[in-house]
Amino acid sequence: MENNELLQQVTNKAQAWLDGKYDDATKAEVKRMMDADDKTELIEAFYKDLEFGTGGLRGIMGVGTNRMNIYTVGAATQGLANYLKKEFANEPKISVVIGHDCRNHSREFAEISANIFSANGIQVYLFDALRPTPEISFAIRELKAQSGIILTASHNPKEYNGYKAYWNDGAQLVPPHDENVIVEVNKIKGAEDIKFEGDKSLIKIIGKDIDDRMIEEIKKLSLSPESVKRNSDMKIVYTPIHGTGIKLIPRALKEYGFTNIINVPEQDVISGDFPTVVSPNPEEPAAMALAVKKAEEVGADMVMASDPDADREGIAVRDDSGKFILLTGNQTGSMLTYYLAHRWKELGKLKGNEYMVKTIVTTETFKRIADHYGIEIYDVYTGFKWIAAVMRENEGKKTYIGGGEESYGYLPEVFVRDKDAVSSLALIAEMAAWAKDNGMSVYDLLKKVYAEFGYSKEKGVSLVKKGKAGADEIKQMMADYRSNTPKEIAGSPVVLYKDYASLVQRENGKETKITGMPTTSDVIQLFTEDGTKISIRPSGTEPKIKYYIEVRSDMKSVADYDKATAAAEAKIDAVRKSLGI
């Protein structure tokens, strides 16, 4: 599109906001952007509509069709309300749960959404203040609501906000509901289509009672209470990184029996500006730095962090030299998987119909552990909605033990249907106490898992390809991998190829269908003879093509850990060179 044509299109959309039923402050901001000599800000705000995708909304906050504001949030809520009224037309009452995180405008967006739902005759359960994302899922199930939303942009930078929608099982929307809601949202053309005038009689404020009920359920997950009693004074530094975890996580740890929870005062401050970090992402060392510093000062055993909406977590533990190291999502998940499976067996809880779930890009160590204990394991697409879909399918038929993904998210329970840092951190702390009871540090436990189930190391690589040219390049790269699949990687033959876009796999020259997947996905996987697994997919939210590399190396005992790590790192370098990334 020519620049003049784009500017005209953007100007027309902006003028519609000036002429429409928008508030004065919004109109003043639109006019300011229109009158500016530099039209970049105007173009960015209006060049497209912020899309309600299968995961909801996520975007930069501000005025315009491509921004998170009361009107884009309002359109999403009105569209969801319209769909709920169609889908549950025979229900005597339709109800929704609304929660929000610490971000700027999250409370405002939550209250506006409550007004819109209630204006449409829908009963609203609105949390009295910020709450973790998993608690919204819990409340939907506990209150038998038909749907729910949370205003959160997870661990994105402070400029962002987001809107996640849930169905009546407490899980994020999956087909057909996700696509059907999108259709309804896209029918909302402007502010005049949104019912903003709420019915206060249909809005009920909830809070402490739901907190109490969720904590009681989390306490029932405990597998080693005696170990906690014997190690109750373990020093645990915890940070919510300015977010919602402060509401439940310290309490959950204390209710489990841990008496020495040490806070990071600067990061207990609830703030959408995230004043102590550039990015509130516990995957990043910088976000964990203050907590690690505090742990060094007080001589703590371990560090725990949750992201702003407390659905994922970061862990730091001491290595053999006493230095704190950050664990990867796969490492923490592997130990938690081992702990759950091992303790279930020791306690006689394994009856033969148990299962676990992981995503296809998550380490295969999960599978080796599950296989060892005779536990069925499912592979699903990236995203906890797919883990929840398996749980829904198996409801009343099989017993769920736990599930997780490489991106620092785990779910060790059935009363929530999204990743949950609250319950996960309680069990991880208990796992550390159990390890200590058995003469191990958490780092020792990690080495023990690798010695028993094989060493693996994972590396994520993202190549940024911006703009339309970048999008075209990513599309071409995926096409090239399909038409000219590598025969070998880093000197090891490719023995299995999986293409989830066509649900076709090739092994030993034989082509078969991939079964058990609910839909297709633009993901390719390559497995080599030496145990390397490579997953390739375009990012759904950013201009990136993402590579997930997992390699194996020999580790016959815990003494081989450093040697196995060095060999794996060399193999990862060889894989990257082989793929040209």
Are residues 182 and 246 both part of a single domain?
A: no
Residue 145's identity, in one-letter code, is: A
- The CATH number covering residue 414 comes to 3.40.120.10
Indicate the burial class of 298 (C-beta count within 10 angstroms; 0-12, 13-18, 19 or more).
exposed
198 and 181 Cβ atoms separated by less than 8 Å: no
Distances (CA, A) of 231 to 320, 440, 446: 20, 12, 19
Number of domains making up the chain: 4
Domain that holds residue 11: 1-47
Are residues 400 and 506 both part of a single domain?
A: no
Are residues 96 and 138 both part of a single domain?
A: yes
Q: How many CA atoms lie within 13 A of 284 on its CB side?
A: 12
Which of residues 173, 206, 239 is at a domain's end? 206
3-state SS string over 394-433? HCCCCEEEEEEECCCEEECCCCCCCCCHHHHHHHHHHHHH
Which of residues 206, 226, 246 is at a domain's end? 206
Catalytic residue among 106, 113, 147, 154: 154
**What is the model's pLDDT at position 354?**
98
Note down pLDDT in tens along the chain; length 581 residues.
457 888 999 999 999 999 999 999 999 999 999 999 999 999 999 998 998 887 889 999 999 999 999 999 999 999 999 999 999 999 999 999 999 999 999 999 999 999 999 999 999 999 999 999 999 999 999 999 999 999 999 988 999 999 999 999 999 999 899 999 999 999 999 999 999 999 999 999 999 999 999 999 999 999 999 999 999 999 999 999 999 999 999 999 999 999 999 999 999 999 999 999 999 999 999 999 999 999 999 999 999 999 999 999 999 999 999 999 999 999 999 999 999 999 999 999 999 999 999 999 999 999 999 999 999 999 999 989 999 999 999 999 999 999 999 999 999 999 999 999 999 999 999 999 999 999 999 999 999 999 999 999 999 999 998 877 888 899 999 999 999 999 999 999 999 999 999 999 999 889 999 999 999 999 999 999 999 999 999 987 678 999 999 999 989 999 999 999 999 999 999 999 999 99
> 548: how many CB neighbours lie within 10 A of its CB?
24
Strands of the sheet containing 313-318, edge to edge, are 261-263, 236-239, 302-306, 313-318, 324-326
Are residues 54 and 102 both part of a single domain?
A: yes
3-class DSSP state of 160: strand
Which of residues 206, 239, 272 is at a domain's end? 206
- The CATH number covering residue 523 comes to 3.30.310
**What is the model's pLDDT at position 225?**
98
What's the gap between Cα 378 and its chain centre? Answer: 18
Task: Provide the whole-model pTM.
Answer: 0.95
Are residues 64 and 32 both part of a single domain?
A: no
Angstrom distance (rounded) from CA 118 to CA 81: 9
Indicate the burial class of 412 (C-beta count within 10 angstroms; 0-12, 13-18, 19 or more).
buried
Residue 580 backbone class (left: φ over 0; alpha: ψ -120 to 50; beta: rest): left
**Partners of 56 in the beta sheet?**
53
Which is nearest to 238 in space by CA: 218, 260, 211? 260
Are residues 346 and 431 both part of a single domain?
A: yes
Q: 247: which DSSP letter?
A: G
H-assigned helices in 464-513: 467-483
Are residues 402 and 472 both part of a single domain?
A: no
Structure token digits, residue 397: 């038929």
**Taking the C-alpha atoms of 439, 443, 448 and 451 in order, what is their torsion angle to the nearest 10 degrees?**
-150
Q: 115: which DSSP letter?
A: H
Angstrom distance (rounded) from CA 83 to CA 212: 32
Angstrom distance (rounded) from CA 145 to CA 102: 24
> 261: how many CB neighbours lie within 10 A of its CB?
18
Are residues 478 and 363 both part of a single domain?
A: no
Are residues 365 and 236 both part of a single domain?
A: yes
Please indicate whether residue 154 is annotated as part of the active site: yes
Are residues 243 and 192 both part of a single domain?
A: no
Are residues 288 and 374 both part of a single domain?
A: yes
Angstrom distance (rounded) from CA 544 to CA 174: 24
Are residues 214 and 350 both part of a single domain?
A: yes
**What is the model's pLDDT at position 2?**
58
Phi, psi of 403 (to 5 degrees): -160, 165
Q: What are the helix and strand counts (H, E) for the chain?
A: 19, 23
